Chains A and B, each alone.
Chain A
């Protein structure tokens, strides 16, 4: 599925950075970059797409130095392929992004960076922005540029990697990315906390946050005024079991052999509406109450101990009602110091709502966009404020 425009745009499938550069240099028109399309319909709908740059041939590991815990991969590399390359060394890219419902696979590195997709592990290892240490991009004018490097500690020049992460393909075309890797844990334990009323589940999250158990992830799965938790403990064989037992005792749960089926999954079905909701950690309970008060059967899932969750509702609701609920949840998130972005939604809902909502610094963002892509040809209109 391609958002935007009538008629099918042409698709090119470059296999090298030079081919990407030539495409942007030689071909006019609006460009949409596509990997495996696990999140392609997310965000705003581009005003125009004349050319789709398919990155799936731009794949593979460029360099993996296991001793440095650093890998450079081409942007079209899938997370599965990256994982397969580094797993034999006991390493992983500790990004476990939630992707769209029904998506085939976990997406590409380029999509991960473009959307700054979030997942459970960010509680312990940080977000994509914290893992990306170097980038090679092709600018809208076809010029190839690099930023960052292949060492984790590096403050030489502007940190354009931060700017690229979550830029939704509107600043430049990512062709290769360098990430810091993490060791795979020797031992993994799960703790499941059964369904509790909102106040109690938020209390359990708080207890885990205030503990010194250092969970790798704390995920909530909430709907209709009740929520359950799954806690991931990673560590050594000696330590993980004791920590899991302590977490279970603290939060009123029990150790479990594996992740629950909802772990890392989007809380909305295909055709439904999915939101990314952020909040200051102290604001979770009133936020959930506000979600409840919309009267729609939202499911909320995600990293409640980080301040980022996804909220979702199915396709069988009046678009106007969904839009009104988004506005209400947006207001509640703002009271908690956070924001709401509509990631995924059917066209009738999109027509009724501003998918990005307000953004601080929008005037600066427009100037950044104009400086990087003066012709406005990279995913025009897909990003906040019509950028």
Chain B
């Protein structure tokens, strides 16, 4: 069995403490944040540094076994779902912040560094790292890079891809590439841009250079209650139409508010059908003017209750309800599915109504918490796994929501990634030729298909011209599991 040989080799190279093959310990890694899909990894390697990652990948390449990289394991699409016959390379020990270069406005970090720790390290210089996924207190930069993570403040400041200028990458054959750096516009193809968001299928990132932004002078946060999500959506559109680009516009519907109140007593206005959180930041003079405009727009649309954060504690209180919303629905439902889809902002009201209709027809509750400014929906589909048929019905509903997103001209994922969860939906969003074109990129990076196989793409596609030693049909092809691309 090749894995036993890989384990022995890596024990010799990295020490016994870096290699996990005890079955009970392996089970600790059987899923990421997509907890209903589990696979016990064949082997786990706890990498201390880039050299350890390289050693692990080389061992996999030599033995022709697949590998999956994992950071904090908070991903919600199963991107770090292990491979039963493969190696899970865990980067969470790689927590060094290599440098914070204030003059360059860059941080250089290892992939296991926690998202929020980058901002903490940059804070003394008046700088911060902008992408802020809700899990930022625990999720790792390596995972953020893999998934192309977003966050509430991406509306104004962009996503992970807009903030990575350099990478060190271990390719699937074990070669190490340094791409980009502290300067922008590296010569040649934008390989950094291609790797960010590729969900670990193009290699394993061992170092990341991040852009840091200047802390804004002023931040103003408004919480506004509306009678319905339609009204809140109307306010969102009116704010955007006024030429204002808030740092964030977040919406929660009545059910999500109920859950958040039950969990963290966030004190949102009572009896409303939806709340909007609108945050503006920037130079004080601009923020004040825009805040007046936003307040006026909300009032004109019919906001029934508004609350303005006057200090950081107030702001944190407003955000607490939003940031805890996913976990909070656990208070009102034994089980739930977190969905992640995107629709054009103008399609929001119609899609929300359609989701409500689907939910009513299925007899399943859906709580909506989302990034309204960029149309990124996070419907929480509530169910009771102990009730016969409910889980299947919830999954069907969750899938139907993705179909609504595609029909509206949107996307099956805005920030959680395709992973293992949505690979089957890719052909609904992209045609064969589109997927073939993407697969060409995969083949350029990983012709043997060892980096995180089974993620992103619905069918394993084999590369037409595999360089190297392989003879005869690929095992996946021989087994009828893959098609030659």
Q: Which residues of the other chain, A, contact B434 by a CB distance below 8 angstroms?
A: 145-147, 157
- Asked if A67 contacts B240 (CB within 8 A), the reply is yes
Complex contact B344–A68 (CB within 8 A):
yes
Assess whether B426 is in contact with A156, with CB atoms less than 8 Å apart.
yes
Q: Which of A127, A155, A209, A356 contacts B187 (CB 8 A)?
A: A356
Best-buried of A150, A209, A236, A362 by chain B (most CB within 10 Å): A236
Residues in B whose Cβ lies below 8 Å from that of A151 = 342-344, 374-375, 409-411, 414
Partner-binding segment picked from A75-83, A224-232, A367-375: A367-375
Of A65, A153, A184, the residue contacting B159 (CB under 8 A) is A153
Shortest B188–chain A CB gap in Å is 4
Given contacts A364-B444, A367-B445, are A163 and B283 in contact (CB under 8 A)?
no
Residue A349 interfacial (CB < 8 Å): no
A165 B185 Cβ-Cβ under 8 A: no
Select one of B148, B374, B440 contacting A152, CB under 8 A.
B374
Nearest residue, chain B, Cβ from A170: B189
Give Cα distance in the complex from A127 to B437, angstroms: 24
Q: Which residues of B contact A236 (CB under 8 A)?
A: 285-286, 289-290
Interface residue ranges of B392-451 to A (CB < 8 Å): 409-418, 422, 426, 429-431, 433-438, 440-445
Assuming the contacts A145-B436, A279-B183, asked whether A242 and B411 have C-beta atoms less than 8 A apart, the reply is no
C-beta contact mask, A320-362 vs B, less than 8 Å → 1, else 0?
A: 0000000000000100111101000000000000001111111
Q: B101 contacts A280, CB within 8 Å?
A: yes
Q: Which residues of B contact A362 (CB under 8 A)?
A: 188
Q: Is the CB of A235 within 8 A of B286?
A: yes
Q: What are the residues of chain B within 8 A of A155 when measuring CB–CB?
A: 147-148, 150, 159, 197, 411, 413-418
Interface residues of A in 264-298 (CB under 8 A from B): 276, 278-282
B104, A145: Cβ atoms closer than 8 Å = no
Within 8 A of B (CB), among A61-105: 65-70, 90
- Contact at A235–B283, with CB atoms within 8 Å? yes
Contact B183 A158, beta carbon cutoff 8 Å: no
Indicate whether B288 reaches chain A with its CB closer than 8 angstroms: yes
Q: How far is the CB of B271 from chain A (nearest CB, A)?
A: 29
With A and B bound together, what is the CA distance between A236 and B243 in angstroms?
10
Contact with B along A160-185 (1 / 0, CB 8 A): 11110111000110000000001111
Q: Is the CB–CB distance between A160 and B437 below 8 Å? A: yes
The chain A residue sitting closest to B445, CB to CB, is: A364
B241 within 8 A of partner (CB): yes
Task: Give the residues from 103 to 124 in chain A that come closer than 8 angstroms, CB to CB, to chain B.
Answer: 116, 118
| Cβ 8 A contact of A243, one of B186, B214, B285 | B285
Give the docked Cα–Cα distance between A127 and B282 (Å).
20
Cβ contact within 8 Å between A280 and B414: no
B322 at the interface (CB under 8 A from A): no
Q: Would you call A213 an interface residue if the criterion is a C-beta within 8 Å of the partner chain's C-beta atoms?
A: yes
What is the distance, in angstroms, from A189's C-beta to the closest C-beta of chain B? 12
Chain B residues with CB under 8 A of A212 = 214-217, 283
Which of A149, A163, A368 is in CB contact (< 8 Å) with B409?
Answer: A149
**A243 contact set on B, CB distance < 8 A:** 283, 285-286
Given A186-B243, A214-B216, A364-B171, the answer on whether A280 and B413 have CB atoms closer than 8 Å is no
Q: Which residues of B contact A384 (CB under 8 A)?
A: 187-188
Report whether A278 and B183 are in contact in the complex, using a CB–CB cutoff of 8 Å. Answer: yes
B173-181, B380-388, B474-482: which lies at the A interface?
B173-181
B344 to A65, Cβ gap below 8 A? yes
In the bound complex, residues from chain B placing their C-beta under 8 Å from that of A167 are 189
A90 in contact with B193 given A212-B215, A361-B179, A368-B444 (CB within 8 Å): no
B105 touches A281 (CB 8 A): yes
Cα distance, A127 to B185, chains bound together (Å): 9
Which residues in B have their C-beta under 8 angstroms from that of A341? 187
Give the residues in chain A near B344, CB-CB below 8 Å: 65, 67-68, 70, 150-151
Residues of A within 8 A of B342 (CB): 151, 153-154
**Is the Cβ of A361 less than 8 Å from the Cβ of B148?**
no
B residues near A154, Cβ cutoff 8 Å: 342, 410-411, 413-414
B59 within 8 A of partner (CB)? no
Known: A150-B409, A166-B185. A370 touches B444 (CB 8 A): yes
Complex contacts, A19 vs chain B, CB 8 Å: none
The answer to whether A308 has its CB under 8 Å from any CB of chain B is yes
Q: How far is the CA of A236 from the CA of B214 in the complex (A)?
A: 20
Residues of B contacting A361 with CB < 8 Å? 177-179, 188-189, 191
Q: Is A126 located at the chain interface by the 8 A CB criterion? A: yes
A163 engages B190 (CB within 8 Å): yes
Q: Are A337's CB and B190's CB within 8 A?
A: no
> CB within 8 Å of A: which of B334-349?
342-346
Whole-angstrom distance from the CB of B224 to the nearest CB of chain A? 20
A281 & B159 in contact (Cβ 8 Å cutoff): no
Indicate whether B158 reaches chain A with its CB closer than 8 angstroms. Answer: yes
B124 sits at the interface (CB 8 A):
no
Contacts of A19-49 to chain B: CB distance below 8 A: none
Q: State whether B187 touches A358 (Cβ < 8 A).
A: yes
Q: How far is the CB of B413 from chain A (nearest CB, A)?
A: 5
Distance of B343 from chain A, by nearest CB (Å)? 7
Min distance, Cβ B361 to any Cβ of chain A, angstroms? 26
CB-CB under 8 A for A163 and B243, given A156-B411, A158-B198, A278-B185: no
- Which of A129, A147, A364 lies in contact with B177, CB distance below 8 A? A364
B183→A339 contact, CB < 8 A: yes
Q: Does B134 contact A (CB under 8 A)?
A: no
Enumerate chain A residues within 8 angstroms of B194, measured Cβ to Cβ: 158-160, 162-163, 368
Q: Which residues of B contact A172 (CB under 8 A)?
A: 437
A196 within 8 A of B: no
A168 to B422, CA, bound (A): 33
Q: Which residues of B contact A129 (CB under 8 A)?
A: 190, 193
- Check A238 against B289 for contact (C-beta < 8 Å): yes
Contact B441 A371 (CB under 8 A): yes
Complexed CA–CA distance, A125 and B464 (Å) = 40
Are B162 and A153 in touch, CB under 8 angstroms? Answer: no
A307 at the binding interface (Cβ < 8 Å): yes
Most buried by B among A90, A307, A383: A307
Residues of B within 8 A of A69 (CB): 240, 345
Count chain A CB atoms within 10 A of each CB in B126, B190, B289 and give the residue with the most. Answer: B190
Closest Cβ of chain B to A158, distance in Å, is 4
Q: Does B161 contact A (CB under 8 A)?
A: yes
Cβ of B371 within 8 Å of any chain A Cβ, yes or no, is yes
Q: Which residues of the partner chain A approach B290 to less than 8 Å between Cβ atoms?
A: 236
Task: Tell me if A163 and B346 are in contact (CB < 8 A).
Answer: no
Judge whether B181 and A280 touch: CB under 8 Å. yes
Residue in B171, B285, B411 whose CB lies within 8 Å of A153:
B411
**CB < 8 Å: which of A65, A90, A171, A336 contacts B243?**
A90
CB < 8 Å: which of B126, B178, B188, B417 contacts A210?
A: B126
A258 on the B face (CB < 8 A): no
Asked if residues B346 and A68 are in contact (CB atoms below 8 Å), the reply is yes
Query: What residue in chain A is nearest B412 (Cβ atoms)?
Result: A156
5 shortest interchain CB distances as A-B pairs: A162-B193, A183-B243, A239-B285, A282-B103, A212-B217
Interface residues of chain A, those whose CB is within 8 Å of chain B, are: 65-70, 90, 116, 118, 126-127, 129-130, 137, 139, 143-147, 149-163, 165-167, 171-172, 182-186, 206, 209-214, 235-240, 242-243, 276, 278-282, 306-308, 333, 336-339, 341, 356-365, 367-368, 370-372, 383-385
Interface residues of B (CB under 8 A from A): 101, 103-106, 126, 147-148, 150, 154, 158-159, 161-162, 171, 175, 177-194, 196-198, 214-217, 237, 240-241, 243-245, 282-283, 285-286, 288-290, 342-346, 371, 374-376, 409-418, 422, 426, 429-431, 433-438, 440-445, 456
**8 contacting pairs across A/B (C-beta < 8 A):** A68-B375, A154-B414, A155-B197, A155-B415, A159-B197, A238-B289, A278-B184, A339-B183
Known pairs A153-B154, A210-B214. 7 more at Cβ < 8 A?
Answer: A67-B346, A151-B374, A159-B148, A214-B283, A333-B183, A339-B183, A359-B187
